Amino acid sequence: MKRPVTLTIAVVLVWITAVFDALAALGFLGVAAAASIPEGEAAIAKSLADGGISDIPAGMIGTTFLVLAILFLAIAVVEIVVAIFLGRGANWARVVITVFVGLGFVSSLIDIIQGGWGIFTGGIGIVLKIFVLWLVWNARSSEWIREKSLQRIQ
């Protein structure tokens, strides 16, 4: 049996998400690097002061962005591994995607609650997440993954 188109679309979407998360990691790393030089730290300190924030050290901002860069890079690596194994019919990869979608669903709900553009972006996020769940859990995808699992056992 050939891999269903729905599952192929899901794999492509996971790859696209991994690319965006890797790009976000690079952006966070760039901010962390900028914050590590004296001029960058001074600019951050000035922005914090201008915003009335005096209890956060400017150096902490760079560290925070470095941690975010590492976190987003790790997530991107996990997504790449999941995409590869989902394309091979691994059920555990489908479960991991479901967990990621669940976490994203919570994030989208928070966006909606915050209002403004978050209502729009969160709403679109929820629709896309439901679509991804359908892609990986519909009958054809489930049948193909079940068949691949049986082949690995034999």
- pLDDT tens profile 21-79: 999 999 999 989 988 888 888 888 888 888 888 787 777 888 999 999 999 999 999 99
**pTM for the whole thing?**
0.84
Higher pLDDT: 17 or 60? It is: 17
CA pair distance 11, 80, nearest whole angstrom: 9
pLDDT of the residue at 46: 84
pLDDT at 52: 85
Question: What's the whole-number mean pLDDT along residues 12-24?
Answer: 94
Q: Which two tokens stand for residue 107?
A: 């994030």
Q: What is the pLDDT of residue 9?
A: 96
Contact yes or no for 35/61 (Cβ under 8 A)? yes
pLDDT > 90? residue 149: no
- Read off the tokens for 58: 């400017």
Contact partners, residue 39, CB within 8 Å, separation at least 6: none
Which of 21-30, 55-64, 95-104, 139-148 comes out lowest in average pLDDT? 55-64
pLDDT at 42: 84
Q: State the average pLDDT for the chain.
A: 91
| Residue bearing tokens 């000035």 | 46
The pLDDT score that the predictor gives to residue 153 is 83
Residue 119 confidence (pLDDT) above 80? yes
Tell me the mean pLDDT in the region 105-121.
Answer: 90
pLDDT at 17 over 80: yes
